[in-house]
């Protein structure tokens, strides 16, 4: 079974807040885990990807993968209004990306 | 930054008509993909294409769908006889070996089947 489930939104936070976005996946064969950001009327844009369990940091963004519990997280520190978008988690199976439904984040100033 | 270009941005068609969605990949990208997103639903994989042949396709990609690179640069998705349920945003994505797992998505073509 190839499924990625994502916490439903929308999520609204004030500027400067720490945001936590989460997904679970069902297939142990998934190797790569990604976070995409999608603005309205645009295609998804890759934020981060990781292959292994553990944390990966890039500026204000931290991706976390726990393969034992099949759990994927994205943390955004010091959130900004420009972070307002839909965030999609994805896992790779073969050549295909399997996406979660997305969490819409709104950061208010 | 280089972009994947999709045309048209919006396509309206009658049920049963053929449509062709076009994608201009980033120069030197060799792996091509089509995804679609029905309003309010997940982004879904349709097909991957490399070296002039389909690498993988999903259950959605049935005999009504086809892909090709007619002139060695553009990448097209054809739907032979559109159905109401084909209404969706269709995204082209490309990558090359150097970009590892990073897919570059176009802005999409919104297909409306009436």
From the number of C-beta atoms within 10 Å of its C-beta (0-12, 13-18, 19+), residue A7 rates as: middle
Record: contact A43-B93, CB cut-off 8 A: yes
Q: Which candidate, B12, B15, B3, places its Cα nearest to that of B92?
A: B3
Centre a 10 Å sphere on the Cβ of residue B51 and count the other Cβ atoms it contains.
7
| DSSP assigned state of B98 | G
Q: pLDDT tens across B42-91, in order?
A: 999 999 999 899 999 999 999 999 999 988 789 999 999 999 999 999 99
Residues of A in contact with B108 (CB under 8 A): 41-43
Which one is predicted more confidently, B97 or B67?
A: B67
Record: contact B102-A46, CB cut-off 8 A: yes
Residues of B in contact with A100 (CB under 8 A): 42
Residues of A in contact with B101 (CB under 8 A): 32, 34, 49, 92
Strand runs (DSSP E) across B1-114, as ranges? 5-7, 10-13, 19-24, 31-37, 43-50, 53-57, 65-68, 75-79, 88-95, 104-105, 109-113
The three-state secondary structure class of A81 is: helix
Rounded mean pLDDT of A58-80? 94
Largest CA distance in chain A: 41
Token pair listed for B65: 């769908």
Q: Which B residues in the span 61-90 are in contact with A, Cβ-Cβ below 8 Å?
A: none
**Lowest mean pLDDT: which of A25-29, A102-106, B22-26?**
A25-29
> Sign of torsion, CA B27 B28 B30 B33?
negative
Asked, as a colleague might, if the bond just before A23 is cis with ω within 30 of 0, I would say no
Record: contact B42-A96, CB cut-off 8 A: no
Q: Is the pLDDT of residue B100 over 80?
A: no
Q: Is B99 on the interface with A (CB under 8 A)?
A: no
Which among B35, B56, B108 has the least Cβ separation from residue A94?
Answer: B56
Half-sphere exposure of B85 (CA within 13 A, CB side): 3
Q: How confident is the model at residue B111 (pLDDT cuts 50, 70, 90)?
A: very high
Q: pLDDT tens across B28-46, in order?
A: 898 999 999 999 899 999 9
Q: Is the pLDDT of residue B96 over 90?
A: no
Token pair listed for A21: 């976005």
Which among A32, A43, A96 has the least Cβ separation from residue B105?
Answer: A43
Q: What is the pLDDT of residue A31?
A: 81
Cα–Cα dist A70/A61, whole Å: 20
Q: pLDDT tens across A5-56, in order?
A: 998 789 999 999 999 999 999 888 888 899 999 998 889 999 998 887 888 9
Q: Is A58 on the interface with B (CB under 8 A)?
A: no
User: Chain B: nearest CA to A60, how far in angstroms?
Assistant: 19
Q: Which candidate, A79, A88, A78, places its Cα nearest to that of A106?
A: A79
């Amino acid at each position: 079974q190839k499924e990625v489930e994502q916490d439903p939104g929308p999520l609204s936070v004030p500027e400067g807040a720490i945001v936590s976005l989460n997904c679970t996946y069902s297939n142990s064969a998934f190797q790569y885990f990604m976070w995409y950001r999608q603005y309205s009327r645009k295609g998804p844009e890759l934020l981060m990807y990781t292959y292994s369990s553990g944390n990966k940091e890039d500026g204000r963004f931290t991706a976390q993968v726990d393969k034992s519990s099949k759990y994927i997280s994205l943390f955004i520190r010091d959130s900004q209004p420009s972070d307002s978008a839909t965030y999609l988690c994805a896992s790779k199976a073969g050549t295909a990306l399997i996406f979660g439904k997305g969490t819409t984040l709104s950061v208010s100033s | 930054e280089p972009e994947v270009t999709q045309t048209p941005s919006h396509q309206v068609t009658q049920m049963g008509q053929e449509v062709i969605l076009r994608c201009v990949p980033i120069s030197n990208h060799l792996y091509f993909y089509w995804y679609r997103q029905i309003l309010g639903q997940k982004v879904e994989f349709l097909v991957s294409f490399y070296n002039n042949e389909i690498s993988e396709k999903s259950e959605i990609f049935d005999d009504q769908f086809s892909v090709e690179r007619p002139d060695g640069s553009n990448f097209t998705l054809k739907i032979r006889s559109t159905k109401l349920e084909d209404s969706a945003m269709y995204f082209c994505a490309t990558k090359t070996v150097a970009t590892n797992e990073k897919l570059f998505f176009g802005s999409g073509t919104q297909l409306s089947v009436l």
